[in-house]
Amino acid sequence: MSKKIVPLRPLSALLVIMAAVVLYLYTASPVKTRNASSTGAYSEDMFRRHYAELKSMMLEIRDCNTSVKLKRVNDFFNAIQYDTDPDVWGQEDYWASRKEFLGAERGDCEDYAIAKYFTLRQLGFRNETLFLTYVRVAQSRIPHIVLTYYATPDAVPLVLDSNQPQIVPANKRRDLRPIFNFNADKIYLSKQRGLGRELPGAEINLDKWTELLLKTEEGK
């Protein structure tokens, strides 16, 4: 029997409450959020074109195995041009929805990870297997976000990185120091193997993730 692409479902009230207690990740000062239609970076025509390409690719791979789905989704979004938030959105730190990312045709590290996360969820990946992982790049300590896939809770995750074409196990990425993992449900303190210790939401600053989840629920 053919597998169906799973539509994104609205967030539960519990999830919204949980997400609302977490704070801003990169900076302590709040930044006014603009939606996609209020900035010149976004093009509805561009979004429709890229979204049609994305839907076609998703239909093509819906019955494929996990490795193929991970690779094709990773390749699709990694083909989008990297650019900084100030240049794209005119803000120091802006977390774009998948729609905004496709419509702007540019983005930075968290935009790639977010788009991959929601696409793989629609392809049937369980939420507990997918995490956005906040890391620091070795030596430079530059903050970076990647998507990680856990086949099991105690597995070494696979890393889907906007800076690397290959998907490799986390223990092969000596250049990255994982700090914490998060998805629409939970936050964990990272370790090399397995998910690590679950953290209360208030311990980590994630206001931008909260805003992103709400935008996604509203279809922005």
Rounded (10°) angle between helices 207-217 and 109-122:
40
Chain mean pLDDT for the chain: 80
Q: Establish if 3 belongs to a structural domain.
A: no
Which residue type occupies 112? Y
Domain count, the chain: 1
Q: In terms of Cα–Cα distance, which of 148, 142, 135 is closest to 183?
A: 148
For residue 140, the SS3 value is coil
Higher-pLDDT residue of 206 and 81 is 81
pLDDT in tens, 7-52: 544 444 333 333 333 333 433 333 333 454 445 589 999 999 999 9
Q: Establish if 198 belongs to a structural domain.
A: yes
Percentage of residues in the chain having pLDDT higher than 70: 70
141-145, 209-213, 216-220: least confident range: 216-220
Higher-pLDDT residue of 107 and 186 is 107
Range from 15-19, 41-45, 76-80, 207-211 that averages highest in pLDDT: 76-80
Q: Establish if 166 belongs to a structural domain.
A: yes
**Model confidence, pTM:** 0.77
Q: CATH no. for residue 74?
A: 3.10.620.30
- pLDDT of the residue at 198: 59
- pLDDT of the residue at 209: 67
In this structure, the number of other CB atoms found within 10 A of the CB of residue 56 comes to: 9
Q: Establish if 103 belongs to a structural domain.
A: yes
Higher-pLDDT residue of 172 and 180 is 172
Q: Establish if 1 belongs to a structural domain.
A: no
Q: Please tell me the distance from the alpha carbon of residue 162 to that of residue 193, in angstroms, as a whole number.
A: 21
Q: Establish if 6 belongs to a structural domain.
A: no
Split at pLDDT 50, 70, 90, the class of 88 is very high
Q: Which residues form the domain of 69?
A: 13-26+36-217
Q: Establish if 76 belongs to a structural domain.
A: yes
Split at pLDDT 50, 70, 90, the class of 220 is low
Q: Please tell me the distance from the alpha carbon of residue 129 to that of residue 149, in angstroms, as a whole number.
A: 5
CB neighbour burial string for 13-51, b if at least 16 within 10 angstroms, e if fewer: eeeeebbeebbbbbeeeebebeebeebebbeeeebeebe
15-24, 47-56, 87-96, 150-159: least confident range: 15-24
Cα 217 to the chain's mean position, in Å?
A: 15
Q: Establish if 7 belongs to a structural domain.
A: no
